[in-house]
Amino acid sequence: MIIAQLSDPHLQPHGVLYQGVADSNGMFRTAVEQINRLTPRPDLVLLSGDVVDGGTMAEYAVARELLGELQPPLLLIPGNHDEREAFRSSFAHHDYLPATGPLHFNVRDRGPVRVIGLDVTIPGHHHGDMDDAAAAWLEEALASEPARPTIIMMHQHPFLSGIPYIDEYCCRRGERLAAIVGKYPAVERIVCGHIHRFMQLRFGGTLLCTAPSTTTAIALRLQPDAVPASHIEPPAFLLHHWTAGRDLITHTVPIGTFAGPFPFA
């Protein structure tokens, strides 16, 4: 099973640049076109939050338009820049999304790998939280099929990355998530967005990785007093490749057109 993961497009109304500098809509369309051209085509696409930048209905109209061009099926969760109820109404045709409350989901009919969407966002705030309700929901979801290969998708990262100005907005009480996941060895990967960079670490007895943004990259500044900054670096997405009897492999795929292919390896 091949699963592409897009993240943090921060889509804008038509004609508006993200932060006044980046054509996030055009960059996301390029990402969608590249995924559509992949051979073999992914079985599923995940979008791990911050679909839009301001949570407005005008932005969600653009998101529906651009995502309508995506050929593989899609699962998506909100991020801190999304507005929960506008997100819910805009993607009401995604029948796996609940009608009320946090936008958790437990999707088991898209292939051999189950995908759990864990909505740790807090409306009106930029950080996330593994609160009592989220912990109880996740425990029940994992226990429903404890041996099923599973990917957990969330937005905010539940660990400290070392970049101080993004860690301020991490998912708090991540140790609760690690404790729950540690009881279920069939969790192949926890995947996040939010951090606008690729990172990977051991977490809760499995691997956790964050996806790059399809627009800007948060600057990799590890000084405790670092000033917030971003760059327009080459955007990318992740490609998760699962095969029965083998481990799940995650690839980072740059978005764009590059020289080649050349007849050597």
What is the model's pLDDT at position 14? 96
Judge whether 265 lies within some domain.
Answer: no
Measured distance CA(233)–CA(224) in Å, rounded: 23
Read off the pLDDT of each residue in 148-155 and give the average, rounded to a whole number: 98
pTM as predicted: 0.97
* DSSP secondary structure, the chain, as one string: -EEEEE----B-STT--BTTTB-HHHHHHHHHHHHHH-SSPPSEEEEES--BSS--HHHHHHHHHHHTT--S-EEEE--TTS-HHHHHHHTTT-TTS-SSSS--EEE-SSSSSEEEE---B-TT-SSEE--HHHHHHHHHHHHHSTTS-EEEE-SS-SS--S-HHHHTTSEE-HHHHHHHHTT-TTEEEEEE-SSSS-EEEEETTEEEEEPPPSS-EE----STTPPP-EE-PPPEEEEEE--TTS--EEEEEE-S--S---S--
How would you class 263 by CB atoms within 10 Å of its CB: exposed for 0-12, middle for 13-18, buried for 19 or more? exposed
Look at residue 61 in the predicted model and tell me its pLDDT.
98
260 inside domain: no
Count: domains in the chain: 1
**Amino acid 176: pLDDT:** 98
The CA-to-CA distance between both ends of the chain, in Å, stands at 25
140 pLDDT band, cuts 50/70/90, is very high
Tokens representing 74 are: 């899609």
pLDDT at 193: 98
Query: Is residue 261 situated within a structural domain?
Result: no
What's the rounded mean pLDDT across residues 30-40?
Answer: 98
**% of the chain exceeding 70 in pLDDT:** 100
The tens digit of pLDDT for each residue in 165-214 reads 999 999 999 999 999 999 999 999 999 999 999 999 999 999 999 999 99
Q: What is the pLDDT of residue 92?
A: 97
Q: For the chain, give the mean pLDDT.
A: 97
Q: What is the CATH number of the domain that holds 77?
A: 3.60.21.10
Share of the chain above pLDDT 90, in %: 99
Token look-up 């996301």 returns: 28
Residue 246 lies in a domain: yes
Span 94-137, pLDDT tens digits: 999 999 999 999 999 999 999 999 999 999 999 999 999 999 99
Asked if residue 54 is part of any domain, the answer here is yes
Q: What is the pLDDT of residues 213-256, one digit of tens each?
A: 999 999 999 999 999 999 999 999 999 999 998 889 999 999 99
Q: Classify residue 240: in a domain, yes or no.
A: yes
pLDDT at residue 236, as a whole number: 98
Give me 68's structure tokens: 């309508």
Residue 69 banded pLDDT, cuts 50, 70, 90: very high
- Please give the pLDDT value at position 262: 97
* Structural domain of 149: 2-254
pLDDT at 242: 97
CB neighbourhood size of 1 (10 A): 17
**Is 161 a member of any domain?**
yes
231 domain residue, yes or no: yes
